[in-house]
Amino acid sequence: MHHLALNVQHVGKSFASEEPWLKRLRRRNGKVCAVSDVSFQVKRGEIYGILGPNGSGKSTLIRCLATLLIPDAGRIEIFGHDLQRDEKTVKRLINRVSVDAAFFKKLSAMENLLYAARLYGMDGATARKRIREILERLGIKELHQPLEHMSRGMQQKVAIARAFLNSPILLLLDEPTTGLDPRSKREVQEFVLEVREDHDATVLLTTHDMDEADKLCNRVAIIDNGKIIAEDTSQGLKNLIQDRVPNPTLEDVFMELTGKQLVTEEDLVSET
Ligand SMILES: Nc1ncnc2c1ncn2[C@@H]1O[C@H](COP(=O)(O)OP(=O)(O)O)[C@@H](O)[C@H]1O
Ligand SMILES: [Mg+2]
């Protein structure tokens, strides 16, 4: 298996938009440039974080990696396979989990995962066995109660469990803990760490939570306006500004590099 889980080179993605409210945003020829000349590499077994404010291009980037969007520019390789040339192979190697995970809330974890397994073309008996295995290994005991009776953190775990149905080795987690209460947030974070250990998975996650990036990620890329403006270990990023800011946090790093706040009052309000 290739030692580079992910190789992203000069990827760009713009959206056509004539929305008047978008005029305030960066735009060229009526286009919103969501991701611009982004390059980075993720090693096998790493947890790599993309840290950036709302609207910085994180979801667009994840959608490009998940083959849901076609980039306008650049090249993406997953375990050495070109995303566009070997789309079929790549699709077996990756799985994306997003906050807005589509579940049937009245159905149980088992029923939801069986439904997903059918979409993957697995037969019922095989699926049932595999789902038991996955949920057990992930410590999810409530197999048969409706999802709506489970905590949001637990539901998010089920979403991640679903991502293991097709044995992905690169997990794409788009803001896995956004909107969760502190306890659920901690549960999901611990879970991500476990999943990496137990399943030999590589994880790419996006977040606007600097503590999360600090706690979970081996390396962090800071993204702003669709561009990666710095990339290093959390400590390496802090070292960048150590001489100007004593005991810096990643938030300080972001502010020093961009002159902006990472999390705005508005974000805080919309999260509660
Ligand atoms: N389908 C789309 N059509 C037009 N503009 C889009 C679309 N998706 C995202 N954008 C714009 O691209 C930028 C980046 O958005 P997004 O990738 O969702 O950022 P993030 O996930 O970091 O909040 C934003 O300005 C957003 O409005
Ligand atoms: Mg997003």
pTM for the full predicted model: 0.86
- Say which residue, 19 or 119, is predicted with more confidence: 119
Q: What is the pLDDT of residues 206-222, one digit of tens each?
A: 999 989 999 999 999 99
Distance of alpha carbon 136 from alpha carbon 152, whole angstroms: 19
Q: How much of the chain exceeds pLDDT 90, in percent?
A: 54
Whole-number pLDDT of residue 270: 54
C-alpha 55 to ligand 1 mean position (Å): 6
Whole-number pLDDT of residue 156: 83
| Alpha helical stretches, state H, 180-249 | 182-199, 210-216, 234-239
What mean pLDDT comes out for the span 181-188? 84
Residue whose CA is closest, atom 11 of ligand 1? 34
Residues 124 and 164: beta-carbon distance below 8 Å: no
Among 60, 204, 229, 266, the mutation site with the greatest number of ligand 1 atoms within 8 A of its Cβ is: 60
Q: Among 94-103, 108-117, 146-155, 247-256, whose mean pLDDT is lowest?
A: 94-103
Whole-number pLDDT of residue 203: 94
C-alpha 55 to ligand 2 mean position (Å): 7
Q: How much of the chain exceeds pLDDT 70, in percent?
A: 89
Q: State both tokens at 231.
A: 């990339």
Whole-number pLDDT of residue 173: 92
Residue whose CA is closest, atom 5 of ligand 1? 15
Q: State both tokens at 195.
A: 């999943």
Q: Among 19-33, 129-143, 145-159, 243-257, whose mean pLDDT is lowest?
A: 19-33
Q: Given its phi and psi angles, is residue 19 left (phi above 0), alpha (psi -120 to 50 degrees) or beta?
A: beta
C-alpha 256 to ligand 2 mean position (Å): 23
What is the bridge-based pairing of β-strands 170-174 and 94-98?
parallel
Whole-number pLDDT of residue 272: 44
Minimum-distance ligand 1 atom for the alpha carbon of 62: 17
C-alpha 130 to ligand 1 mean position (Å): 36
Average predicted confidence (pLDDT) for the chain: 87
Amino acid at the residue 195: V
What is the bridge-based pairing of β-strands 31-43 and 202-207?
unpaired
Residue 18 has pLDDT above 90, yes or no: no
**Dihedral sign (CA 108, 112, 113, 118):** positive
Q: What is the pLDDT of residues 41-93, one digit of tens each?
A: 999 999 999 999 999 999 999 999 999 999 999 999 999 999 999 999 998 88
Minimum-distance ligand 1 atom for the alpha carbon of 208: 22
Whole-number pLDDT of residue 87: 92
Whole-number pLDDT of residue 100: 60
**Dihedral sign (CA 117, 95, 158, 199):** positive
The secondary element (H helix, E strand) that includes residue 130 is helix 124-137
Whole-number pLDDT of residue 44: 93
Among 14, 15, 223, 267, the mutation site with the greatest number of ligand 1 atoms within 8 A of its Cβ is: 15
What mean pLDDT comes out for the span 131-151? 85
Residue 22 has pLDDT above 90, yes or no: no
CATH superfamily of 4-101+168-271: P-loop containing nucleotide triphosphate hydrolases (3.40.50.300)
Minimum-distance ligand 1 atom for the alpha carbon of 53: 22
Give domain limits for the chain: 4-101+168-271
Ligand nearest to the CA of 51: 1
